[in-house]
């Protein structure tokens, strides 16, 4: 429904049958633009908005342009509920709701845990910690586990997830609060399994046969969904980048497509992946496993033998057979070993071309940094024990193997974006990163000046790189300040510059197993590879129309996924902090305004976000010693107190 309403905001050629009744409701309000000749479009004086009901009032978000500032509703309808979609008139002084288009007339299911207070069992909301009087008898509640986590709707218990005291319940809580489905529909599972377990190459005579090339993947050692493989033809200075052809199986408006569109991204917890697609595809048929024939989209990119810059690029629908699935660790050890012995590196040794490719990709990176940036990055990885308690933390920083793969994938993404831009008049699906606003840059430079940096004159790119060069002893902290000043990258329908990478156009092409945006890019590119005729033009218009409608949802889902993953990590930190109350830790201040926020920089709780109590003023990025004074397992929050 939301996707259709966004399409209507931009203009849609035909009204799907399932949305005819909804369209007639909108039309009856006089909200359809009669001057629009290409189909149907919402009139300019109206928007479709989603309601957000807070303690500070009711705010309306334009679903077609969610980055616009939310509008505050002056007069709230008694029928309006949180998250409802509504037709809103904006041609007046204050926005006015004309018609509520979607409303759950029943109460939304709540997720709570049970707690006994003053001899009575009550419910505590896991969303906002509100106390709830339950419509169930005390006798029936006493039969449930202590601190039981459950969902209910009106007078009916829907699901029982376990006890809040059990660390294994955190996964269910984070998924439920984030609105993430953990199971696929039967139709989607059946469709995924119907393709079989192996690729029958005889069904694809039109594809370019590249099974003879020594493709390899390089991924984390626990990876199961292999999206991408590479092969470097050193003699001909040609790089082949193969990407799983997921769009061959996930076609528009099928059960698989609806499931993928509903999720938009795979979700990763420390101990498990909740994939965008059923495992029959994500871990088997589409995954580029060694010694198995696979369908792939392959970029053949010829580089200049001296400068190593791209000369020409061609895209193919291909058949490939990856020869090995390597880990970053294995490749790094090989790249660092000057002897290159087969005995020390049995898996990597047959692919000695990786050493030359590593040099080539460093040249590519050097050229890229003339226009883009290289910021310090680290991944804080939680490790859980068998009971799903946090056991330890590892900090992963990019290595030479990571850089090798990153530069290859960037080349494939740039080539894809250029093909879309040049053939579709800059329409399609792009990854955009706008330049920081003047206000943010001013605030950044003021802060850097306070830290003793002299801001050089010149263009912004040169200014930032000069500051980075001066900040080498404190590069990590300074890079964090620079990143904080930037805007979020997002998906867009029109090609725009990617500030961080320095590219005029950029898209996501290389991870279709875990990102729906990449599937959409593949669909467009495959149509562009076909002979242009009336049929392909009609298909292009259909895909472009659907992309324009899904882009706001993609951006919303991306933020939602990040929030779910962070919520889960916070819960694991809180459990360990609760078991270690009184522990002295080092913290680094993130925000000195009340409530003061910091991250723990020592011991097993490294990376945990905490609230800070202090009787004195604290400074951002400064380190202090603090004591853990409390932790709430239900909310995932930790409180500390400065001791020095």
In a domain, 492, yes or no: no
In a domain, 441, yes or no: yes
Helix (H, G, I), strand (E, B) or coil at 611: strand
In a domain, 571, yes or no: no
Phi-psi region of 582 (alpha: psi -120 to 50; beta: other; left: phi over 0): left
pLDDT over 80 (residue 644):
no
Which element (helix H / strand E) includes 403? Answer: helix 400-423
Supply the CATH number for residue 602's domain. 2.40.50.140
Q: What is the mean pLDDT of residues 139-151?
A: 93
519-561 tens-digit pLDDT: 999 999 999 999 889 999 999 999 999 999 999 999 999 999 9
One domain, residues 548 and 480: no
Q: What is the mean pLDDT of residues 60-82?
A: 85
What confidence score (pLDDT) does residue 75 get? 78
Range of the domain at 384: 205-363+370-429+501-562
Which of 55, 83, 104 lies at the terminal end of a domain, its last residue?
Answer: 104
In a domain, 184, yes or no: no
One domain, residues 380 and 510: yes
In a domain, 177, yes or no: no
In a domain, 231, yes or no: yes
In a domain, 594, yes or no: yes
One domain, residues 468 and 510: no
Instruction: Please give the tally of structural domains in the chain.
Output: 5
One domain, residues 258 and 383: yes
One domain, residues 285 and 327: yes
Distance between CA atoms of 285 and 282, rounded to whole angstroms? Answer: 7
- Please list the residues that pair with 393 across neighbouring strands: 382
One domain, residues 327 and 286: yes
Distances (CA, A) of 188 to 192, 256, 288: 6, 5, 21
Sequence-ordered list of residues with C-beta below 8 angstroms from that of 252, at least 6 positions apart, any chain: 523, 542, 543, 546
Which of 83, 104, 125 lies at the terminal end of a domain, its last residue?
Answer: 104
One domain, residues 218 and 294: yes
One domain, residues 88 and 137: no
One domain, residues 41 and 85: yes
One domain, residues 221 and 359: yes
One domain, residues 445 and 419: no
Quote the percentage of the chain above a pLDDT of 90.
75
298-352 tens-digit pLDDT: 999 999 999 999 999 999 999 999 999 999 999 999 999 887 677 888 899 999 9
Length of the chain: 644
Distance between CA atoms of 514 and 56, rounded to whole angstroms? Answer: 37
Which of 71, 87, 104 lies at the terminal end of a domain, its last residue?
Answer: 104
pTM: 0.91
Sequence-ordered list of residues with C-beta below 8 angstroms from that of 172, at least 6 positions apart, any chain: 149, 161, 162, 182
Determine how many CB atoms are found less than 10 A away from the CB of residue 518: 25
Per DSSP, the residues of 76-101 read --TT--TT-EEEEE-SSSS-EEEEEE
What confidence score (pLDDT) does residue 106 get? 43
One domain, residues 423 and 439: no
- For the chain, the average pLDDT equals 93
DSSP 551: H
In a domain, 178, yes or no: no
């Amino acid at each position: 429904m939301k996707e259709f309403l966004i399409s209507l905001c931009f203009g849609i050629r035909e009204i799907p049958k399932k949305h005819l009744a909804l369209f007639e409701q909108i039309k009856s309000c006089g909200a359809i633009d009669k001057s629009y000749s290409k189909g149907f479009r919402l009139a300019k004086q109206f928007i479709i908005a989603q309601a957000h009901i807070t303690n500070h009032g009711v705010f309306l978000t334009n679903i077609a342009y969610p980055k616009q500032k939310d509008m505050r509703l002056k007069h709230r309808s008694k029928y309006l509920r949180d998250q409802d979609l509504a037709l809103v008139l904006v041609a007046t002084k204050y926005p006015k709701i004309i018609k509520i288009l979607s409303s759950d007339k029943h109460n939304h299911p709540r997720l709570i845990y049970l707690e006994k207070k003053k001899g009575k069992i009550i419910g505590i909301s896991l969303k906002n910690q509100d106390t709830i009087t339950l419509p169930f008898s005390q006798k029936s509640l006493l039969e449930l586990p202590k601190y039981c986590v459950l969902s209910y709707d009106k007078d009916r218990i829907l699901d029982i997830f376990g006890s809040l005291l059990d660390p294994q319940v955190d996964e269910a809580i984070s998924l439920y609060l984030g609105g993430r489905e953990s199971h696929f529909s039967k139709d989607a599972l059946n469709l995924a399994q119907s393709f079989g377990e192996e690729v029958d190459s005889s069904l694809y005579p039109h594809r370019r046969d590249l099974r003879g090339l020594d493709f390899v993947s390089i991924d984390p050692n626990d990876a199961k969904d292999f999206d991408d493989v590479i092969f470097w033809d050193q003699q001909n200075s040609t790089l082949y980048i193969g990407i799983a052809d997921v769009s061959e199986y996930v076609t528009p408006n099928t059960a698989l497509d609806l499931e993928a569109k509903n999720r938009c991204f795979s979700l990763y917890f420390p101990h498990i992946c909740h994939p965008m697609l059923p495992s029959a595809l994500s871990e088997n048929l589409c995954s580029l496993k060694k010694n198995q024939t696979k369908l792939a989209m392959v970029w053949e990119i010829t580089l200049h033998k001296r400068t190593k810059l791209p000369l020409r690029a061609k895209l193919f629908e291909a058949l490939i057979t990856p020869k090995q699935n390597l880990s970053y660790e294995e490749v790094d050890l090989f790249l660092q070993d000057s002897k290159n012995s087969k005995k020390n590196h049995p898996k990597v040794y047959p692919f000695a071309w990786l050493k030359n490719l590593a040099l080539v990709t460093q040249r590519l990176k050097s050229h890229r940094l003339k226009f883009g940036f290289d910021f310090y990055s680290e991944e804080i990885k939680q490790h859980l024990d068998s009971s799903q308690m946090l056991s330890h933390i590892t900090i992963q920083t990019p290595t030479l193997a990571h850089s090798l793969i990153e530069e290859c994938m960037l080349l494939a993404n740039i080539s894809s974006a250029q093909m879309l831009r040049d053939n579709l008049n800059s329409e399609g699906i792009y990854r955009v990163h706008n330049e920081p606003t003047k206000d943010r840059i001013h605030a950044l430079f003021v802060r850097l000046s306070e830290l003793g940096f002299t801001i050089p004159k010149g263009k912004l790119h040169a200014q930032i790189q000069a500051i980075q060069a001066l900040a080498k002893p404190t590069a990590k902290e300074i890079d964090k300040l620079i990143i904080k000043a930037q805007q979020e990258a997002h998906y867009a329908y029109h090609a725009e510059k990617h500030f961080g990478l320095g590219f005029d156009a950029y898209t996501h092409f290389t991870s279709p197993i875990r990102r729906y945006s990449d599937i959409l890019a593949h669909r467009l590119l495959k149509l562009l590879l076909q002979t242009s005729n009336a049929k392909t033009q009609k298909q292009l218009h259909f895909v472009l129309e659907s992309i324009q409608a899904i882009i706001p949802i993609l951006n919303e889902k991306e933020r939602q996924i990040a929030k779910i993953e962070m919520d889960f990590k916070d819960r694991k930190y809180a459990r360990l902090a609760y078991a270690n109350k009184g522990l002295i830790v080092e913290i680094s201040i993130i925000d000195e305004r009340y409530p003061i926020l910091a991250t723990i920089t020592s011991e097993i709780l490294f990376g945990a976000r905490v609230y800070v109590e202090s009787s004195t003023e604290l400074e951002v990025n400064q380190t202090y010693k603090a004591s853990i004074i409390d932790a709430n397992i239900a909310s995932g929050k930790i409180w500390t107190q400065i001791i020095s």
